[in-house]
Amino acid sequence: MRPALLNPVLNGWRLAGWTALFLTAGASLAPSAAGQSSPVLDSVERAADLGQPDEARRFLDDWFASPEAFDRQADVERARFLRARLTADLDSARVDYLWVAVRAGDRYGAAARLRLAQLYVAEGRLDHAEEDLARMRADFPGNPLTFTSWLWTGNVRSAAGDLAGACAAWEAAASLQGSPATRSDRELVRSALEDCRDPRSAVAATESFSVQLGAFSSRETAEELRNRVVASGAAARVVEPGDPGGLYRVRSGRYAGREEAARHAVSLAEAGFESIVVPGEP
């Protein structure tokens, strides 16, 4: 069920947090600037990565005003992706991301389609999010972001209450061979699948929901991730293993509904941390 757009949690995020979220972590989704030809757009991306939005927007405005701005299609794709990343207006961002998703190649098109899906998750429009994720995989087969798209498909289905579908999506992510996904993201999916096979999860699912960022055999590694998440401005905790030899799980938030947890997962992704929606600890 789609939540009202006047929901105070979502409204506050839309009005206050959008710019900060998309500026602090474009590196998690934005294609690498390596090999790009425009030094001005290099400066835009560098300023955005350093958390200097005003500087980044100034460089970008200069680029759009320059006579050579539209000489190369690849530069236009990159500029519109960066403009969407830098804007605080969701509707404007959606227009630019959609343009890039439809017209650009693998480098920016897949990333833009994934951004669109995350916008829909943030708005609670889960059916649209799933459609965009499926379209990304169809339009850009074999793209490096395919693993991430399956991870997010699992989050969307989990938020919709389709636990079997979520587990199937995470299985699809885990089955990808040769994917450039990071080791931590693979461990994240592996821990999700362990929970999928744990019958206790069905009971916990009626109580609360959290966002899990990783699961580790080492407490030290789990605490290191927790500290990085906290340093980014989000709350995080280490959950002790339930059994001897179990995993230390790094989680953030505790929500009564799956959709709220999924929106929190969006904010974490934009801060550079992939995560999955899981039943909260009892």
Note down the domain range covering 197. 163-282
Query: Does residue 182 sit in the same domain as residue 263?
Result: yes
Closest by Cα among 94, 90, 86, 81 to 47 = 86
Query: Does residue 67 sit in the same domain as residue 189?
Result: no
Q: Which residues contact 79 (CB under 8 A, 6 or more apart)?
A: 41, 44, 60, 63, 64, 69
Backbone angles phi, psi at 58, to 5 degrees: -65, -45
Query: Does residue 66 sit in the same domain as residue 195?
Result: no
Q: Is residue 157 part of a domain?
A: no
Query: Does residue 13 sit in the same domain as residue 46?
Result: yes
Q: Is residue 158 part of a domain?
A: no
Q: Is residue 60 part of a domain?
A: yes
Query: Does residue 170 sit in the same domain as residue 211?
Result: yes
Query: Does residue 112 sit in the same domain as residue 78?
Result: yes
Query: Does residue 66 sit in the same domain as residue 176?
Result: no
Tens place of pLDDT per residue across the chain (282 aa): 323 322 333 333 333 344 334 444 444 455 554 445 688 999 998 888 887 889 999 999 999 998 878 888 889 999 999 999 888 888 899 999 999 999 988 889 999 999 999 999 988 899 999 999 999 999 999 999 999 999 999 999 988 889 899 999 999 999 997 777 778 788 888 888 887 887 555 544 456 889 999 888 899 999 999 999 999 889 999 999 877 778 899 999 999 888 889 989 998 888 888 888 888 776
Query: Does residue 207 sit in the same domain as residue 93?
Result: no
Query: Does residue 218 sit in the same domain as residue 128?
Result: no
Prediction pTM value? 0.78
Q: Is residue 152 part of a domain?
A: no
Query: Does residue 85 sit in the same domain as residue 212?
Result: no
Query: Does residue 40 sit in the same domain as residue 131?
Result: yes
DSSP 147-163: HHHHHHHHHHHHHTT-H
What is the tally of structural domains in the chain?
Answer: 2
Query: Does residue 85 sit in the same domain as residue 138?
Result: yes
Q: How many residues does the chain have?
A: 282
